Amino acid sequence: MASQSSQGSKLSSQEQSALISDIVLYILSQDHTKYPIKRQDIVKNVLKTHGRHYKHIMNEAAHVLTEIFGMKLVEIEHSSNMKQYILVNNEQFLRDVSDLKWPEEVEAQQVLLMLLLSLIFMSGGVVKEEVMSSFLTRLGIMNGRKSHEYFGDVWKLLTVEFVRQMYVEYVRIPESNPPKYEFRWGHRAKGEVSRRELLNFVSLVYGCDPKNWVTQYQEVLQAESEKEKKREEDGK
Amino acid sequence: MAAVEADEEEATAGPCPKDMELAVSIINKVIKGLNMEIRCAQDEITPAKYYLLVNTVDSHISRTFSKFSAAELEFFKTVLSEIVTSEDGCISSTACLNLNSSLPGNMTKSDTEALLEKFCKYQWLYQKDGKVHLTILSIVELEPLILSAYEDYVNICRLCKRIVMQGYRCDRCLALLHLHCVHLYTKGVDRIHSCPVCSADQPEMLAAVKNIPFHSGDDNRIPSASSRENKTGKGSARK
């Protein structure tokens, strides 16, 4: 089934299309886990001997992902050699998706994420782990290290799974002894989550106008204008 | 790959079925190069209509990087085989759990049970009343495989020409037909008692489809991008 690869440095347009479509499929299926996709895995599993065409083919694949699937391929700088990517919703479709059905455990995770990202956002971008822990305990979501009926192993989700999925960062406070940790928003949250939606949600809970939260509202506006700028740049 | 109920699109005010058909056919033109297609099909039991995003090619990408390991896929193949070759298009959950013994590797009963639930979670199979069935997503996506590998066992509904696992069976000619196809067929009032295939008297046929919640005001055609589909969908039996 594999076409004969040409000896020269050029790929036939058929080979190119096949590789582009393989990469698109690979990225779409891998992104399902929400773990970042490593460049080296793409080369190893999809491009194989055609590694030298990486840049060109990735550009085309990114284009397909944006134009056809409305998803943006975002590069995450890990260490200098290890490039990683995540797929982020390009937010061109603002339609209500509340009737989409997800498996129960995914829904539970979305709720949990919403809560902790809100806490971090409203607290100025950083939250110490004790604060997070007591917040979730007060809500009845955490009870020591016991597994919750609906949410599961909450602390493990926060410190391992969500970190791996790049929704949060769980980093050690420098110079802390004994080591203490804090939570921040991760790259995926920054790309995927609407700060405006979060602020609206929190305002709803407190029964007030979002504009009352002056600092946070400023951040919402700033994030939106940055996204607008970025979108205009990409469109060129 | 993924299934969405057609209802949800039709229920909200706005696009009508025609717009949906057009949108689907435009999308299909574009994703054809990616070996994907949106197909519309009706569940055999519920009988909700679905839009299904399927792979048209069994590429190494979809196999190697699927959510399931090679051993798990082997198990699925065994279950698929049992269901397709069964008499009534499903197998009991207990029989399914026993299938692990015919496979290499060490799968315990509880592993198998967990795996079965995983298949249900991702909508490859569903369980109801102690029986395991193929979902409409599996039937549609695996259609080419089922047609070629199980040629001697698979039933084709003579009214719509597609695979049928569960439905109404004529007691004279033994033809198996989709309940929703029979439902459409019986709308022609002079035919409610005769088998669409052999014309045998079938007094139970109408009763079999009477209590099922079909949609009213249906566009009788099931939208499809594939040209081989029976476009009239009126369910007239070919002689």
Residue B58 has pLDDT above 90, yes or no: no
CATH number reported for the structural domain that contains residue A150 in this entry: 1.10.10.1210
A and B: number of Cβ contacts within 8 A: 30
Q: Quick one: pLDDT at residue B235? A: 31
Based on the fold, state whether residues A142 and A81 are members of the same structural domain: no
Residue B84 has pLDDT above 80, yes or no: yes
Mean per-residue pLDDT, A167-183: 92
Q: CA-nearest residue of chain B to A33?
A: B67
| A166 falls within a domain | yes
Q: CA-nearest residue of chain A to B55?
A: A25
Share of chain B above pLDDT 70, in %: 77
- The residue type found at A162 is F
Residue B37 has pLDDT above 60, yes or no: yes
* A contact test, residue of B1, B34, B120 with most A CBs within 10 A: B34
Residue A179 has pLDDT above 70, yes or no: yes
Based on the fold, state whether residues A74 and A148 are members of the same structural domain: no
Mark yes or no for CB contact A64/B34 under 8 Å.
yes
Q: CA-nearest residue of chain B to A19?
A: B34
Based on the fold, state whether residues A70 and A138 are members of the same structural domain: no
Least confident of A59-73, B156-170, B210-224: B210-224
* Nearest CB partner across the interface for B34, out of A21, A30, A46: A21
Based on the fold, state whether residues A180 and A98 are members of the same structural domain: yes
- Mean pLDDT for all residues in chain B: 79
Mean per-residue pLDDT, B65-85: 86
Which residues in chain A touch residue B26, judged by CB atoms under 8 angstroms apart? none
CATH number reported for the structural domain that contains residue A80 in this entry: 1.10.10.1200
pLDDT confidence bin for B7, thresholds 50/70/90 = low
Based on the fold, state whether residues A51 and A101 are members of the same structural domain: no
Mark yes or no for CB contact A29/B121 under 8 Å.
no
Within 10 A of A71 (CB to CB), how many other CB atoms are there?
20
Fold adopted by B2-57: Aspartate Aminotransferase, domain 1 (3.90.1150)
pLDDT confidence bin for B229, thresholds 50/70/90 = very low
d(CA B43, CA B49): 6
Least confident of A86-100, B159-173, B199-213: A86-100
A13 near B CB under 8 A? no
Task: Give the model confidence (pLDDT) of A92-146 as tens digits.
Answer: 665 666 667 777 888 899 899 999 999 999 999 999 999 999 999 999 998 887 8
Rounded to a whole number, what is the distance in Å from the CA of A126 to chain B's nearest CA?
34
Based on the fold, state whether residues A84 and A102 are members of the same structural domain: no
| B-contacting residues in A 82-141 (Cβ below 8 Å) | 99-100, 103
Residue-by-residue DSSP string for chain A:
-PPPPPSSSPPPHHHHHHHHHHHHHHHHHHHTT-PPEEHHHHIIIIIGGGGGGHHHHHHHHHHHHHHHH-EEEEEEE-SSS-EEEEEEE--------TT----HHHHHHHHHHHHHHHHHHHTTS-EEHHHHHHHHHHTTS-BTTBPBTTTBSHHHIIIIIHHHTTSEEEEEPTT-SS--EEEEE-HHHHHH--HHHHHHHHHHHHTS-GGGSHHHHHHHHHHHHHHHHHHHHHH-
More confident residue, A152 or B60: A152
Mark yes or no for CB contact B35/A21 under 8 Å.
yes
Mark yes or no for CB contact A21/B33 under 8 Å.
yes
Q: CA-nearest residue of chain A to B54?
A: A25
Based on the fold, state whether residues A155 and A168 are members of the same structural domain: yes
Q: Quick one: pLDDT at residue B227? A: 34
Domain residue spans of chain B: 2-57, 62-146, 155-227
Residue B77 has pLDDT above 60, yes or no: yes
Q: Quick one: pLDDT at residue B48? A: 86
> CATH number of B155-227: 1.10.10.60, 3.40.50.460, 3.90.1010.10, 3.30.40.10?
3.30.40.10
In chain A, how many domains are there? 2
Q: CA-nearest residue of chain A to B119?
A: A103
* A contact test, residue of B12, B59, B61, B68 with most A CBs within 10 A: B61
Based on the fold, state whether residues A98 and A80 are members of the same structural domain: no
A30 near B CB under 8 A? yes
Share of chain B above pLDDT 90, in %: 26
Q: Quick one: pLDDT at residue B192? A: 75
pTM: 0.77
Q: Quick one: pLDDT at residue B187? A: 79
Based on the fold, state whether residues A97 and A184 are members of the same structural domain: yes
- Tell me what ipTM this predicted complex has: 0.74
Based on the fold, state whether residues A32 and A68 are members of the same structural domain: yes
Q: Does the B62-146 domain belong in CATH 3.40.50.1860?
A: no
Q: Quick one: pLDDT at residue B237? A: 33
Mean per-residue pLDDT, A221-234: 84
Residue B12 has pLDDT above 60, yes or no: no
Mark yes or no for CB contact B62/A29 under 8 Å.
yes
Q: Identify the contact set of chain B against chain A, taking CB-CB distances under 8 A.
A: 4, 8, 30-31, 33-35, 59, 61-62, 64-67, 121
By the 10 Å C-beta count (0-12 exposed, 13-18 middle, 19+ buried), B74 is classed as middle
Q: Quick one: pLDDT at residue A165? A: 93
Mark yes or no for CB contact A25/B67 under 8 Å.
no
Mark yes or no for CB contact A46/B67 under 8 Å.
no
Mark yes or no for CB contact B65/A26 under 8 Å.
yes
Rounded to a whole number, what is the distance in Å from the CA of A35 to chain B's nearest CA?
13
Share of chain A above pLDDT 90, in %: 43
Q: Quick one: pLDDT at residue A208? A: 93
Segments forming the whole domain that contains residue A38: 13-88
Task: Give the model confidence (pLDDT) of B165-199 as tens digits.
Answer: 999 999 888 899 999 888 888 876 666 788 888 88
pLDDT confidence bin for A170, thresholds 50/70/90 = very high
Mean per-residue pLDDT, B221-234: 36
Rounded to a whole number, what is the distance in Å from the CA of B117 to chain A's nearest CA?
12
Q: Quick one: pLDDT at residue B27? A: 93
